[in-house]
Amino acid sequence: MKMTKNYKIVTQFLRDISSETPNVETYFFVKNNISNYQLVIDITSKALKNKHVEIDTIFKFRDSKENEKKSYFEMTNVTVVKIDEKITDKKELEKIILCDLQNEIYPFLEKSFLNLLHSSGFNQVEFEKKVNFEDLYNKRQN
């Protein structure tokens, strides 16, 4: 039995995209230590009128160690979805926002964020593991 999609993407755009490396010395330090950087994803949502929801998916790439020399990378994607009229359960809505939608838009987000990192001089960065929003969602429930 195949589930039908219970939301529709109305629009999607990059609201903010930022890369900051203060100087050349920092750039070379970060380039040599980029393996210490980790992807952090934040998701927020805001109800709009007529069963529409605005979802911000924020990607941050941060140094996991406390180094003075660091670069800063962040991207905010906005997606507006219309939720099916039949959806009334808060848990079901949460799963749509945190899991189903994120799985659908992730390829675009990953490509856009890697473009930012590569254009910032960090061509060696690749995300080996795809983010599994289903797993993250399920872990959050337990």
pLDDT, position 107: 94
Taking only the tens place, the pLDDT of each residue in 82-106 is 999 998 889 999 999 999 999 999 9
Taking only the tens place, the pLDDT of each residue in 52-86 is 999 999 999 999 998 999 999 999 999 999 999 99
Strand partners, 17: 75
Instruction: At 44, give phi and psi (nearest 5°).
Output: -125, 155
Q: How far apart are CA 124 and CA 118, in angstroms?
A: 8
Average pLDDT, the chain: 92
Q: 132 falls in which pLDDT band (50, 70, 90)?
A: confident
Provide the residue count of the chain.
Answer: 142
Q: How far apart are CA 34 and CA 27, in angstroms?
A: 10
What are the angstrom distances between the C-alpha of 47 and each of 67, 82, 135, 141?
39, 10, 25, 22
pTM of the predicted structure, to 2 decimals:
0.89
Do 63 and 33 contact (CB within 8 A), yes or no? yes
Single out the residue of 21, 14, 30, 40 nearest to residue 131, CA to CA: 40
Summarize the confidence of residues 38-47 as an average pLDDT: 95
Q: DSSP code of 36?
A: G
Is pLDDT of 1 > 70? no
Do 118 and 28 contact (CB within 8 A), yes or no? no
Is pLDDT of 2 > 50? no
